[in-house]
Copies of this chain bind each other. A is one copy, B any other.
Amino acid sequence: MKQVIKLNILILGSNIDGTRIADEINHLQLKATNHFIRDEANISDQELADVDIILGWDKPVVTKILAMPNAKLKWIQAYSAGVDYYPLQQLAKRNVLLSNVSGIHAEPISENVLGMILSFYRGIHTAATHQSSGQWTIPDHQLETIAGKKMVIFGTGHIGSRIAQLAAAFNLSITGVNHSGHPVKDFPATISIDALDSQPVREADIIVNTMPLTAQTTGFFNHSFFDLVDNQPLFVTIGRGPSTVTADLVLALQNHQLGGAALDVTDPEPLPSTSPLWQMPNVIITPHISGLYQNYFKDAINIFAENLKQFETDGTLKRNEVNLSAGY
């Protein structure tokens, strides 16, 4: 007879819709043999120490558990793709596995990237800013099709690849940027991140940042980077805010090194209302929403469920395990 393992699973995250998670967990019948804990504020230290698995994030709770010498914690499943806010070194030291939900954001984020690019080039953003005052105002800048534009995508993972697929349908020419410049399906060309001073970057009309936040990518899009571009590109970022040096971005826009910017992530977030970016007509700002979509919880919990099944069997994860030293 198969041994029944009972795992203590702590669900964290005050911003997370607990009812929907509970619905999904019930739907997947994950409760059968496990003990789900939801009210982290009222559980004892002993119960915290006995937690095997965490679903989500709450800084004080995770910090407290990791400080306990007798903590049983073995695995954390994040709700996000980027896991830069988790204490990766500590998790590595304590042999705690970490998994993300990378992949589920590819479709919604890619839709936002194309939507922002089209809004920028096709006069839709300009019209939206005039709409509340009831102004039928033809834009005073030339509208351009995105067909034929040259796009450079930083990051050739799930999100970058899906953006490349969609951009190809619009007849953009696409170059991907990754560590080594290795070829990736959906990218007609790729270059290494160490070879930035090259024709694709210099001639880019559109630059898209999809990179995770790591030591290497923090502050990556700074004045040195913006000095490389010759064609006043639109800079689109949906990765993490701190990959871009905000002050340098503002300057590059003011200097017309960039033709515009479309920002779903900023540093800091929320972007302060005093930031000059808000008032620039060639800047589109969305409040870190590009990954949201109707099936987010369902798809995230499905990844958790697949991993839980494997974890119950042999203590490993089936998918989306984060390399704790690489940070993604």
Binding site for B on A (CB under 8 A): 107-108, 111-112, 114-116, 118-119, 121-125, 127-129, 131-139, 142-147, 165-166, 169-170, 269-275, 278-279, 284-287, 289-290, 292-294
Contact = CB atoms under 8 A, between A and B. Distances in A.
A127 B286 contact: yes
A244 to B, nearest CB: 16
Interface of A is mostly: loop
A250 to B, nearest CB: 14
Given A132-B279, A143-B289, A169-B169, 18 more contacts: A108-B145, A111-B146, A112-B122, A114-B115, A116-B124, A119-B128, A122-B289, A123-B289, A124-B125, A124-B284, A125-B128, A127-B284, A127-B286, A129-B131, A131-B284, A131-B285, A143-B293, A145-B293
Q: Which 6 A-B pairs have the closest CB atoms?
A: A115-B118, A134-B273, A136-B270, A169-B169, A128-B128, A134-B278
A165 to B, nearest CB: 7
Contacts of A144: 293-294
A134 B275 contact: yes
Given A127-B286, A137-B287, A270-B136, A147 B107 contact: yes
Contacts of A122: 108, 111-112, 115, 289-290
B127 A129 contact: no
A170 B106 CA distance: 12
A169 B114 CA distance: 12
